[in-house]
Amino acid sequence: MSGTADVECSADSAVRVGGQSRTELRRSLRDAGVRLNAHAETLLAHPAFDDPGERTLRIVERTVEDLGLEEGAVQSRVFAAARSLGLELCPLVAGPYLRLALTDQADAPDSVLSAGRAPTGAIHLASEPISDDVEYPKGFYLRVVDGQSWLRGYCCDDTYVWAPEQRIAFVVPEGRPSAG
């Protein structure tokens, strides 16, 4: 994915989500060579991964600017703007499955993994935060650094401003054309 192209450069991409136990999912990630940070490990331990039923989601990628927020915005405004365009948030369990499906993500232009800002080259999954605790991870992002695929969790509060160029994955509801 590059710019505002959708997963695998199609108008939208079907991604199969769920259907694996937590152990099977971890094995799939390991076998694919995906690295995890501690926040991703915390999210994978969440009950949402206990027995996720299998389903197929249509995933699209948009920048914050694509959502009409040219100056950027806090997470709640970003998500509200996406909803107003007919997009939905991803279920938390979509993160690892999208990482496994997205095999052609470009290498990040730098290798900085944490700097108090959205990492360059990252694609965040828009998902409802599962805890109000600012120290608890809010969701996943995907990144490739030096040829290594990462599934990382991130923390932020609702004062953090998502930059206009920040890339975010959303779900297109069934029966709707690609929104946004």
For position 175, what pLDDT does the model report?
A: 73
Distance of CA 97 to the CA centre of its chain: 10
Helices and strands counted in the chain (H then E): 4, 9
For position 6, what pLDDT does the model report?
A: 34
> Running along the chain, 180 residues long, what does each successive block of 10 average in pLDDT?
34 85 96 97 95 92 97 96 97 96 83 70 93 92 93 91 95 74
For position 156, what pLDDT does the model report?
A: 87
* SS3 at position 123: strand
56-94 core/surface letters (b: 16 or more CB in 10 A; e: else): ebbbbbbbbebbebeebbbbebbbebbeeeebbbbbbbb
For position 113, what pLDDT does the model report?
A: 61
Q: pTM higher than 0.85 for the full model?
A: yes
Place of tokens 């969790």: 153
Nearest to 122 by CA among 59, 155, 169, 180: 169
For position 167, what pLDDT does the model report?
A: 95
For position 107, what pLDDT does the model report?
A: 78
For position 2, what pLDDT does the model report?
A: 35
Q: What is the DSSP letter of 45?
A: T
* SS3 at position 75: helix
